[in-house]
């Protein structure tokens, strides 16, 4: 028998505790924290690696944010992936409705695959152990189990929920006795010593129909409201958009509270929850301290990404993106440098970084939402300088991509081609510009920038005017479905 597996990647998080690298419009799952692949790309590749003689793995279903849809597609293309569907949540409603959308999508064509559900922002260091554990979970799920991956604890951790399990069967699959809330330190030490307690990874394996039945039993309100939203969905290529108003009416709840914790507490319902232990160097990278833990260290316990120098420093993490960072005489510190913000924190307080993000939001500052380099479906722009009545941007347009046909009420623009070829519409004229050539876009003139070539187009844009905000744009035609 061959088991049909549909990977489900949950990619809707914001990752505020990894600020300033993680921002609302470019959150941690899309970051490259080490190596050359993002956490999201790593998750996809791990899931595709589950294929075996008895396991067929399809392209993933991704559940995410409307704002990240082109980012998802771009990152999958980079690793030769192609989503079977991209479910765009109209609003954040926690993980139970998100998983339900994926399950409804999975059964919409009359099939009933085994869902392998994973957050997009986790990492493992032993992929062979990961593959073996998840394949074991797939085979258990084929028998009707709802299976969770339980992380073998290597320390008394107070930041995770725990799973209390029975002894394993011949295949090492354990019955789940109960889910336990985050413990205090002494209780966590007792859990580790016991040997029957595992961290809750947030990774689940089960038939799509099994999840829908369990949710209908324990939380029919979530099941019915999510179904109502899915029933009025619209589809545009790979994008699946549930009904916006209907989805906003769905109760917000986690998978754990809605179903997982209910199953062992109510065995009479008949939903068997089992656990497969996972000892694969797992981390949820929930804060900078976790990044330090999984990083390579020097003899003094320091970890670095980017251009960093240490002098008389210990147990410190430096993450530099654009310049040299030097750390002298510090211990147990996190330093994260980006072009527009720098974080310095006690490593033991790294969970509190989210409070800084909350302050930025409270002050209506953009540093919590956007990087200086802003990604767009056609490429990116980097605001490299600004002052009263002017702004300078570096713009990259992907091959064959195009900005919208647009107009600005309050600013004029000068464009200088640095590399590649630009097709420029200015009013009723169309110009072809190559390296070192330039043009001028007067205020109020309809214009467009296209890259007709096969290599990236880079230009320098100099804006001048009384107002330079990104909302000063009128779009007349757009390839990406944007209206503003």
pLDDT tens, 318-349? 999 999 999 999 999 999 999 999 999 999 99
Q: Please give the pLDDT value at position 36.
A: 87
Give the 3-state secondary structure percentages of the chain, helix then strand then coil, rounded to 5. Answer: 30, 35, 35
Nearest CA-CA partner of 456 in 385, 378, 373, 382: 378
311 burial level (CB within 10 Å; 0-12, 13-18, 19+): exposed
pLDDT attached to residue 484 = 47
pLDDT at residue 14 in the model: 79
How many whole angstroms separate alpha carbon 121 and alpha carbon 39? 5
Spatial separation of the C-alpha atoms in residues 317 and 330, rounded to whole Å: 10
DSSP class of residue 482 equals -
pLDDT digits (tens, 9 = 90+) for 422-464: 999 999 999 999 999 999 999 999 999 999 999 999 999 999 9
Is the pLDDT at 3 greater than 80, yes or no?
Answer: yes
Residue 144 scores a pLDDT above 80: yes
Mean model confidence pLDDT for the chain? 94
Under the banding of pLDDT at 50, 70 and 90, the label for residue 483 is: low
Rounded to an integer, the average pLDDT of 395-403 is: 96
Confidence at residue 348, expressed as pLDDT on a 0 to 100 scale: 94
Cβ neighbors of 254 (< 8 A, separation 6 or more) are 94, 95, 96
pLDDT tens digits along 279-320? 999 998 989 999 999 899 999 999 999 999 999 999 999 999
Q: Can you give the pLDDT at residue 479?
A: 80
**Phi, psi angle pair for 349, to nearest 5°:** -105, 15
CATH architecture, domain 373-477: Sandwich (2.60)
Give the per-residue pLDDT at 9. Answer: 97
Q: What is the dihedral of CA 318, 282, 77, 433, to 10 degrees?
A: -10
Question: What distance in Å separates the CA atoms of residue 459 and residue 437, rounded to the nearest whole number?
Answer: 10
Kindly report, residue by residue over 52-85, the tens digit of the pLDDT: 999 999 999 999 998 899 899 999 999 999 999 9
Q: Where in the chain is the domain with CATH 2.60.120.10?
A: 373-477
- In 3D space, the residue among 86, 101, 91 whose CA is nearest the CA of residue 235 turns out to be 86
- Are 337 and 323 in contact by the 8 Å Cβ rule? The answer is yes
d(CA 272, CA 277): 17
Main-chain phi, psi angles of 121, to 5 degrees: -120, 30
Looking at the predicted structure, is the pLDDT value of residue 247 above 90?
Answer: yes
Q: Name the segment(s) of the chain with CATH classification 3.90.550.10.
A: 3-278
CATH architecture of 3-278: Alpha-Beta Complex (3.90)
Measuring CA to CA, how many Å separate 63 from each of 66, 74, 119, 221?
A: 10, 15, 10, 21
Q: Write out the two tokens for 455.
A: 């290599």
Which pLDDT does position 482 carry in this prediction? 64
Residue carrying the six token digits 């999201």: 40
| Structure token digits, residue 21 | 């690298």
For 431, the token pair is: 């110009």
pLDDT band at 169 (very low <50, low <70, confident <90, very high): confident
Q: Considering the chain, what percentage of its residues have pLDDT values greater than 90?
A: 87
Over residues 357-373, the mean pLDDT reads 93
């Amino acid at each position: 028998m061959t088991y049909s597996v549909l990977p489900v990647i949950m990619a809707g998080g914001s990752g505020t505790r990894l600020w300033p690298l993680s921002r609302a419009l470019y959150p941690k799952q899309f970051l490259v924290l080490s190596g050359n692949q993002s956490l999201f790309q790593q998750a996809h590749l791990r899931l595709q690696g589950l294929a075996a003689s008895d396991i067929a793995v399809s392209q993933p279903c991704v559940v995410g944010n409307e704002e990240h849809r082109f980012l998802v597609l771009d990152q999958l293309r980079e690793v030769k992936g192609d989503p079977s569907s991209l479910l765009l949540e109209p609003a954040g409603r926690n993980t139970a409705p998100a998983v339900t959308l994926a399950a409804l999508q999975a059964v919409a064509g009359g099939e009933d695959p085994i869902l392998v559900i994973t957050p997009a922002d986790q990492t493992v260091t032993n992929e062979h152990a990961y593959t073996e554990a998840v394949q074991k979970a797939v085979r258990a799920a084929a028998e009707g189990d709802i299976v969770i991956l339980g992380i073998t604890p290597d320390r008394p951790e107070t930041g995770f929920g725990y799973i209390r399990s029975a002894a394993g069967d011949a295949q090492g699959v354990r019955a789940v006795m109960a889910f336990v809330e985050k413990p205090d330190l002494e209780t966590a030490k007792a859990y580790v010593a016991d040997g029957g307690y595992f961290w809750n990874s947030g990774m689940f394996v089960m038939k799509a129909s099994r999840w829908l039945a369990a949710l209908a039993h324990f939380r029919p309100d979530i099941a019915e409201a999510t179904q109502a939203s899915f029933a009025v969905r619209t589809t545009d290529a790979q994008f699946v958009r549930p009904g916006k108003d209907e989805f906003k009416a769905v109760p917000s709840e986690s998978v754990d509270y809605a179903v997982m914790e209910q199953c062992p507490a109510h065995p009479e319902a008949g939903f068997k929850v089992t656990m497969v232990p996972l000892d694969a160097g797992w981390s949820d990278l929930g804060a900078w301290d976790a990044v330090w833990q999984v990083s390579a260290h020097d003899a003094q316990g320091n970890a670095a990404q980017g251009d960093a120098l240490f002098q008389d420093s210990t147990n410190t993490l430096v993450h530099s993106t654009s310049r040299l960072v030097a750390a002298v005489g510090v211990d147990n510190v996190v330093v994260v440098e980006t072009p527009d913000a720098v974080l310095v924190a006690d490593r033991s307080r790294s969970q509190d970084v989210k409070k800084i993000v909350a302050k930025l939001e409270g002050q209506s500052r953009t540093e919590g939402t956007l990087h200086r380099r802003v990604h767009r479906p056609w490429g990116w722009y980097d605001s490299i300088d600004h002052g009263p009545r002017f702004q300078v941007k570096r713009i990259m347009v992907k091959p064959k991509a195009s900005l919208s046909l647009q107009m600005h009420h309050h600013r004029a623009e000068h464009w200088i081609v640095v590399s590649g070829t630009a097709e420029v519409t200015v009013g009723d004229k169309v110009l072809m510009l190559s390296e070192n050539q330039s043009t001028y876009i007067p205020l109020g003139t309809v214009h467009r920038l296209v890259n007709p070539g096969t290599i990236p187009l880079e230009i320098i844009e100099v804006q001048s005017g009384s107002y330079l905000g990104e909302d000063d744009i009128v779009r007349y035609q757009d390839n990406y479905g944007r209206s503003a």
